C-alpha cells in the first residue's frame, strides 16, 4: 500500500507528511515532525500521556490515525509556551512541585489547559473529573490539583487585568 | 501542609522548598527520554513473547518474518554472541533457549527499520512449543505433589537487586535438599512464642493475601545499545542503576567495564522496576548486528515481561495483654517469586517482626517459584504485604481489648535501640513521632463523629522501610566564571539533583543559580550506587556535602595566599571571599576561577572530592490515616480524606519530600483498592493493559495531607534519612482498617475490590 500525503498544521506550522495508513497521529508527530514532547505510555488511549488538541478537541493521539488528522489543526505541548514565556499552567506546575518524573506531564498539562479554556474557575472536583483520563504514577495528584487551581486563579487575574 | 520540626540551626538553602531544576524542561516537553533519542542506522527490536507459561521450545521458524521488507534479522538464543549465562538469574537468560518458564518470556528478537515493521514481523515468527505442566498459585506450588516450575534446581540465585533496596546481614537459606518450588527460606526466632500466647489476653489470627501488582511507571522500559568498530559498547537505558547495569552487562558479555558506557536517560518513573533487565540482551543484539539497536517496550510487553511486584500470602497470629502490650507474633510469610528467585522475603520477615517491640517471635519466610513473570522491586519491596497483615491484626487486637488503636501502636512502637528480628538494633527512628502527628490530624480527631455516618469510617496504619546502603562519590568544580558544577553518578528520579544543588550552595554560601548539577554517564561520573532503596540523598548527598566542603577549603587556601590573610579569618558569601572585618580585602569566585583555569594559571583547578562509605541505615517510618465511605450495595470503597505523616530526618527540599510522601501514599491506595495482575489457571496474564489493570486516577485520590516529621538521622546530610519508599507501605492496611471501622467487615485480601467487600459483608457467596 503506498504512503499517503496528508497536511497537518501543528502549533501553527503547516507540514505535508507522507504517512503509512496505520501510523498514529502520535507516531507521526514524534517521528516525522520531531516533536517528541508528547509521550506514549500505553498505546490504547488509557493513560493520557499523548494528549493533544485536534481542531480544538482534547484527544489521545496514540489512538488517532494520522490520516484521520489530515487537514486538521494540532496543538502539542511544544505549542503552549509563547515567546519563551511559560503558559500559566506550565508555570504553576513548576512552582507547585507538580512535576516528578515528568513523563505524564505533557499530557497532563494539555488536559489542564483544555479544562481551563472551557471552565476558567473550576472547583477541585471539576479538576479531578477533567484529569481522570491522565494517569500520573509519581505525584499522588495532590500537587497537580494545587497547580491547576493556582493556574486558573492566575489566568483569571491576568484576564481581568488585560 | 505541616511540618513537625525540631530545633535546628538556620540554613540558607537546605530545608527550604525550591522548584525542581528539571521542571521547566519537563513542562515544555523538552526533556529527552530514552524513546526520544535518535541514532543513525538505528534498528528497532520487537521481542517474541511466549504465549505459554511452561514449555519446551521444539523449533523456531523465522522464515516468514525474514521475508518482510524492512526486517534485518531475527535472532534466537542460538544466534547471540558468546556470553555468560546463568539459568537462575533472569537478566542472564537473554532469550529462552530450551525451556520457557513464564507466559511472556522472550524467545526471539525481530530487528527491523521501524517499530511497526518489527511488530508485524514478530507475529509471523513461528515457534513450536511442547507444553509442560504450569504451576501458578504459590500455595499450590508448595505442595509436595506440585509440578515443578522449572526442570533444573536453583544453584546461583541473583539477589543483587534486593540488596540495593535493603542492605542487611542475614542468612537466607537455599532450600534445595529435594526438588521443590521453594527456592529459599528464612527463619527468625526470639523468646518463646507459645509462652507468649499463653500470657496473652487476646489472640487473633488470619491469612492475608496481596495481589501481584505492576510498578506501572508511565514510561515503559526503553534501551538503546551501540557496539562500535573500536569495541566500545554504549547503552542508553531508562535505568535507575547505571553502574549496576554496566557491571552486569560487562560480566554477562565478557567485556571490561572500562569499555562499557551506560547513560541513564531521564527515567519516566521506576519505583524499583527499572534496575536492570534487558540491557544485556539489547547489547548482545547490537553486537550481533553491528548496528545501534533500540528496544521500546509497549505497555502490554512491559506488563507481560518486566519485573512486577510479588503476590504474597501472610499467615499471622498475634497475642496481646489486656494493657495493650504485644507479647507474641507468629508468622508464615510466603512470596511468589515467579519464574526466577528474587522475592523480597528478607525485608518482609524483618518488618513483620521489627515494627513493634515484641519479646516472642517465630517468623518463617518462603520464596516460592511459579510459572509467572519473575518479580522485582516496587517501592519498599515486600513491605506493604506484611504491613497489611500486621496492621490489620493490631486493629483486631485493639478492638478485642477495647483499646484505642493509636495508643496501642504508640505503646509498642519500636524505638532507637530496639532489635530487629535479626538482632540488629535500630538507630534513631521516628515511628512514635509519626503516630503523634497523625493523632493531631482532623481525620483522626473527628473519627468518632465520622463513625456516626452508617457507611463511613477511619483507619490507621503504620509502615517502615530500612533502606539500602551503597558507597557514593561526587565532585564539585569551580568554573572560569565563578559558577559551580556538581557531578554525580546517580540517576535523578525524585529531585535529588535539586537537593544536591541546595547542599553545594549551602556549603559554599552561594545563590542557588550559581550551582549546576549534572548526572554523568558511567565513563565520566564518580561512582554512585543505584537510585533505589531510598538512599540517594542519604548517601550521594553526603558525598556532595563533603565535595563542597573540600572545594571550600581549596578556595579558602588560594584566597588566603592572595589576600595574605589566614584562612580562618576569611568568610565566603555570594561568590566573594573576604577578610572578616576588612571588606577591602576580597577576591571573587570569578577571579579565583580565572586563576585556576586560565592560560598560565598560577593555581591548580579547584576540584572538590567527596567519597563515602555507607554502613549504617537510617530507616524511615510513616503513619497514615484514611477516611473512607463504603457503598453497602455495590461494595465500592471511596477514599474521602487521607493523611500521611512520615519521618524524613531532615527535609532538604520539603516540596520534593511532600511529593514523595503523597506519591507513595497514592500507590498504596492503588494496591489497597484497584491493582491486581490476574492470571488464569494456565498462567496466562489476563489484563496486560491499563484499561483492565486499574491504576488510581484523579477521581480516586483525594488531596493527600502530608505532614513532615523530622527526627534527625545519625549520618545523613543535615540529619536527612531515607524518604522515597516508606509512604507506599501502610495503604492497604489503613484502607482495610477504615473499611472495618465503617461497616464492621474485615477484608483479608488486597485489593479490596467491591466483590471482596461484599463477600466480607456476607452479601455475596460462591
Task: Give the list of residues 6+ apart from residue B9 with CB closer than 8 angstroms, or none.
Answer: none
- The CA–CA distances, whole Å, from B486 to B98, B477, B502, B505, B520 equal 48, 6, 11, 10, 10
Give buried/exposed letters for B162-186 (b at 16+ CB in 10 A, else e): bbbbbbbebebebbeeeebbbbbbb
Looking at beta carbons, which residues of chain A come within 8 Å of B701? 140-142
pLDDT score for B173: 67
B690 and A90 within 8 Å at the Cβ level: the answer is no
Whether B667 sits inside 8 A of A137 (CB atoms) is yes
Residues of B in contact with A106 (CB under 8 A): 27, 29
**Distance to chain A for B699, nearest Cα, Å:** 5
Residue pair B276/B162 in contact (Cβ under 8 Å)? The answer is: no
Of A36, A106, A142, the CB nearest to B704: A142
* Cell of residue B369, nine digits: 517459584
Q: Is B725 a catalytic residue?
A: yes
Give the tens place of pLDDT for each residue, A15-39.
999 999 999 999 999 999 999 999 9
Contact residues, B window 679-698, toward A, CB-based 8 Å cutoff: 689-691, 695, 697-698
What is the grid cell recorded at B487? 557531578
**Nearest residue of A to residue B696 by CA position?**
A135
Q: Which candidate in B407, B725, B749, B755 is catalytic?
A: B725
Q: What pLDDT is attached to residue B156?
A: 76
User: Cell triple for residue A26?
Assistant: 502520535
Domain A88-161 CATH (choose: 3.20.20.60, 3.90.950.10, 1.10.150.120, 3.40.50.300): 1.10.150.120
Distance of alpha carbon B324 from the chain centroid: 34
Measured distance CA(B460)–CA(B362) in Å, rounded? 25
**CB contact at 8 A, B82 and B254:** yes
- Structure confidence by residue, pLDDT tens digits, B321-379: 999 999 999 999 999 999 999 999 999 999 999 999 999 999 999 999 999 999 999 99
Contact call for B24 and A86, based on CB within 8 A: yes
- Within the 35-54 window of chain B, which residues sit less than 8 Å (CB to CB) from chain A? 35-36
Domain ranges for chain A, please list them: 4-79, 88-161
* Residues 6+ away with beta carbon under 8 Å from B708: B1, B2, B3, B4, B5, B645, B646, B648, B651, B654, B657, B658, B661
Using a CB-CB cut-off of 8 Å, the residues of chain A touching B216 are: 135, 137
Query: Touching check for B30 and chain A: CB below 8 Å?
Result: yes
Q: What is the CA radius of gyration of chain B?
A: 27
How far is the alpha carbon of A71 from chain B, nearest alpha carbon, in Å? 24
Q: What is the pLDDT of residues A91-128, one digit of tens each?
A: 999 999 999 999 999 999 999 999 999 999 999 999 99
Q: Residue B363: CA atoms inside 13 Å, Cβ hemisphere, count?
A: 28
DSSP H helices in B536-653: 541-563, 589-597
Contact A137 B665 (CB under 8 A): no
Report residue B525 as a C-alpha cell.
561520573
Distance from C-alpha of B152 to C-alpha of B149, rounded to nearest angstrom: 9
CB contacts of A105 in chain B (<8 Å) are 26-27
> B268, A101: Cβ pair inside 8 Å?
yes
For residue B396, the model assigns a pLDDT of 98
Residue of A nearest to B688 (CA): A42
Contact: B698, A102; criterion CB under 8 Å: no
- Which residues of chain B carry a pLDDT beneath 50? 1
CA B764, chain centre distance (Å): 37
Identify which of B299, B656, B703 has the shortest CB distance to residue A142.
B703
The verdict on a CB contact (< 8 Å) between A143 and B662 is yes
Contact B741, B662 (CB under 8 A): no
Banded model confidence at residue A162, pLDDT cuts 50, 70, 90: very low
pTM as predicted: 0.97
Cross-chain residue pair B690–A100, CB shorter than 8 Å: no
Pick the residue of B698, B706, B725, B728 with the most A CBs within 10 A to test the interface with A by mutation.
B698
- At B157, is the secondary structure helix, strand, or coil? coil
Does the CA dihedral B14-B19-B21-B22 come out positive or negative?
A: positive
Picking from B17, B27, B731 by the largest number of A CB atoms within 10 A of its own CB, the best residue to mutate is B27
Which residues of chain B lie closer than 8 angstroms to A128, CB-CB? 698-699
C-alpha span between B371 and B136 (Å, rounded): 6
* Residues of chain A positioned with their CB less than 8 A from the CB of B116: 20, 22-23, 27
Domain A4-79 carries which CATH code? Answer: 3.10.20.30
Amino acid at each position: 500500500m503506498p504512503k499517503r500525503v496528508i497536511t497537518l498544521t501543528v502549533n501553527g506550522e503547516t507540514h505535508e507528511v507522507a504517512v503509512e495508513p496505520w501510523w498514529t497521529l502520535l507516531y507521526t508527530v514524534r517521528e516525522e515532525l520531531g516533536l517528541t514532547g508528547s509521550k506514549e505510555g500505553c498505546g490504547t488511549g488509557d493513560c493520557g500521556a499523548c494528549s493533544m488538541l485536534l481542531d480544538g478537541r482534547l484527544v489521545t493521539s496514540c489512538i488517532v490515525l494520522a490520516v484521520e488528522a489530515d487537514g486538521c489543526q494540532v496543538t502539542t505541548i511544544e505549542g503552549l509556551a509563547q515567546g519563551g514565556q511559560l503558559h500559566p499552567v506550565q508555570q504553576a506546575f513548576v512552582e507547585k512541585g507538580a512535576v516528578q518524573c515528568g513523563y505524564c506531564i505533557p499530557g497532563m498539562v494539555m488536559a489542564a489547559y483544555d479544562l481551563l479554556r472551557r471552565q476558567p474557575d473550576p472547583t477541585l472536583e471539576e479538576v479531578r473529573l477533567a484529569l481522570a483520563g491522565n494517569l500520573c504514577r509519581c505525584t499522588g495528584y495532590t500537587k497537580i490539583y494545587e497547580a491547576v487551581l493556582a493556574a486558573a486563579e492566575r489566568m483569571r487575574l491576568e484576564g481581568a487585568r488585560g | 501542609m505541616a511540618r513537625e520540626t525540631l530545633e535546628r540551626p538556620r540554613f540558607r538553602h537546605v530545608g527550604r522548598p525550591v522548584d525542581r531544576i528539571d521542571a521547566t524542561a519537563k513542562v515544555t516537553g523538552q526533556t529527552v527520554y530514552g524513546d526520544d533519542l535518535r541514532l543513525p542506522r538505528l534498528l528497532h527490536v520487537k521481542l517474541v513473547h511466549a504465549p505459554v507459561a511452561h514449555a519446551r521450545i521444539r523449533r523456531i521458524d523465522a522464515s516468514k518474518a525474514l521475508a518482510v521488507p524492512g526486517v534485518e534479522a531475527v535472532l534466537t538464543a542460538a544466534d547471540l554472541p558468546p556470553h555468560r549465562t546463568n539459568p537462575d538469574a533472569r537478566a542472564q537468560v537473554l532469550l529462552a533457549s530450551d525451556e520457557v518458564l513464564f507466559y511472556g518470556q522472550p524467545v526471539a528478537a525481530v530487528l527491523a527499520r521501524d517499530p511497526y515493521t518489527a511488530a508485524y514481523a514478530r507475529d509471523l515468527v513461528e515457534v513450536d512449543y511442547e507444553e509442560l505442566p504450569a504451576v501458578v498459585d504459590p500455595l499450590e506450588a508448595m505442595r509436595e505433589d506440585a509440578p515443578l516450575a522449572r526442570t533444573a534446581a536453583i544453584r546461583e540465585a541473583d539477589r543483587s537487586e534486593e540488596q540495593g533496596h535493603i542492605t542487611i546481614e542475614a542468612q537466607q537459606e537455599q532450600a534445595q535438599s529435594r526438588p521443590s518450588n521453594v527456592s529459599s527460606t528464612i527463619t527468625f526466632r526470639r523468646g518463646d512464642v507459645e509462652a507468649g500466647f499463653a500470657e496473652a489476653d487476646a489472640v487473633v489470627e488470619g491469612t492475608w493475601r496481596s495481589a501481584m501488582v505492576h510498578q506501572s511507571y508511565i514510561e515503559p522500559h526503553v534501551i538503546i545499545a551501540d557496539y562500535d568498530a573500536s569495541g566500545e559498547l554504549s547503552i542508553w537505558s531508562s535505568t535507575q542503576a547505571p553502574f549496576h547495569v554496566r557491571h552486569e552487562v560487562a560480566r554477562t558479555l565478557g567485556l571490561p567495564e572500562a569499555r562499557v558506557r551506560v547513560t541513564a536517560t531521564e527515567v519516566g518513573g521506576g519505583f524499583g522496576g527499572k534496575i536492570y533487565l534487558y540491557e544485556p540482551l539489547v547489547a548482545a543484539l547490537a553486537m550481533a548486528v553491528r548496528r545501534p539497536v533500540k528496544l521500546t517496550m509497549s505497555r502490554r510487553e512491559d506488563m507481560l515481561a518486566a519485573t512486577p511486584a510479588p503476590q504474597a500470602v501472610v499467615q499471622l497470629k498475634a497475642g496481646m495483654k489486656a494493657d495493650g502490650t504485644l507479647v507474641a507474633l507468629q508468622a508464615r510469610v510466603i512470596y511468589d517469586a515467579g519464574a526466577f528467585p528474587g522475592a523480597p522475603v528478607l525485608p518482609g520477615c524483618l518488618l513483620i517482626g521489627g515494627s513493634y517491640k515484641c519479646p516472642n517471635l517465630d517468623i518463617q519466610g518462603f520464596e516460592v517459584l511459579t510459572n509467572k513473570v519473575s518479580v522485582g522491586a516496587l517501592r519498599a519491596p515486600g513491605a506493604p504485604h506484611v504491613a497489611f497483615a500486621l496492621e490489620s491484626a493490631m486493629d483486631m487486637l485493639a478492638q478485642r481489648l477495647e483499646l484505642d488503636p493509636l495508643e496501642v501502636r504508640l505503646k509498642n512502637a519500636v524505638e532507637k535501640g530496639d532489635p530487629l528480628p535479626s538482632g540488629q538494633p535500630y538507630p534513631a527512628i521516628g515511628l512514635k513521632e509519626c503516630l503523634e502527628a497523625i493523632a493531631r490530624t482532623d481525620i483522626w480527631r473527628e473519627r468518632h463523629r465520622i463513625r456516626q455516618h452508617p457507611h463511613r469510617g477511619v483507619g490507621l496504619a503504620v509502615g517502615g522501610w530500612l533502606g539500602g546502603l551503597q558507597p557514593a562519590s561526587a565532585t564539585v568544580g569551580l568554573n572560569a566564571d565563578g559558577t559551580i558544577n556538581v557531578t554525580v553518578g546517580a540517576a535523578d528520579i525524585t529531585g535529588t539533583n535539586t537537593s544536591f544543588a541546595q547542599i553545594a550552595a549551602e556549603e559554599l554560601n552561594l545563590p542557588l543559580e550559581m550551582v549546576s548539577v549534572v548526572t554523568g554517564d558511567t565513563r565520566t561520573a564518580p561512582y554512585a550506587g543505584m537510585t533505589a532503596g531510598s538512599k540517594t540523598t542519604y548517601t550521594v548527598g553526603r558525598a556532595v556535602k563533603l565535595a563542597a566542603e573540600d572545594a571550600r577549603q581549596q578556595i579558602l587556601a588560594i584566597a588566603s595566599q592572595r589576600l595574605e590573610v589566614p584562612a580562618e579569618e576569611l568568610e565566603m558569601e555570594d561568590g566573594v571571599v573576604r577578610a572578616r572585618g576588612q571588606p577591602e580585602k576580597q577576591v571573587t569566585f570569578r577571579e579565583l576561577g580565572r586563576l585556576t583555569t586560565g592560560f598560565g594559571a598560577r593555581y591548580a583547578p579547584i576540584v572538590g572530592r567527596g567519597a563515602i562509605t555507607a554502613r549504617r541505615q537510617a530507616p524511615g517510618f510513616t503513619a497514615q490515616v484514611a477516611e473512607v465511605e463504603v457503598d453497602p450495595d455495590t461494595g465500592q470503597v471511596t477514599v474521602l480524606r487521607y493523611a500521611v505523616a512520615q519521618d524524613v530526618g531532615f527535609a532538604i527540599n520539603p516540596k520534593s519530600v511532600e511529593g514523595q510522601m503523597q506519591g507513595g501514599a497514592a500507590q498504596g491506595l492503588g494496591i489497597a483498592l484497584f491493582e491486581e495482575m490476574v492470571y488464569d489457571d494456565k498462567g496466562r496474564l489476563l489484563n496486560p493493559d491499563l484499561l483492565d489493570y486499574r491504576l488510581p486516577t484523579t477521581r480516586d485520590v483525594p488531596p493527600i495531607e502530608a505532614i513532615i516529621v523530622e527526627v534527625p538521622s545519625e549520618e545523613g546530610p543535615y540529619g536527612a534519612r531515607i524518604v522515597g519508599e516508606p509512604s507506599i507501605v501502610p495503604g492497604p492496611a489503613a484502607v482495610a482498617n477504615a473499611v472495618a471501622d465503617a461497616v464492621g467487615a474485615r477484608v483479608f485480601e488486597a485489593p479490596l475490590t467491591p466483590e471482596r467487600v461484599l463477600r466480607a459483608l456476607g452479601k455475596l457467596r460462591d
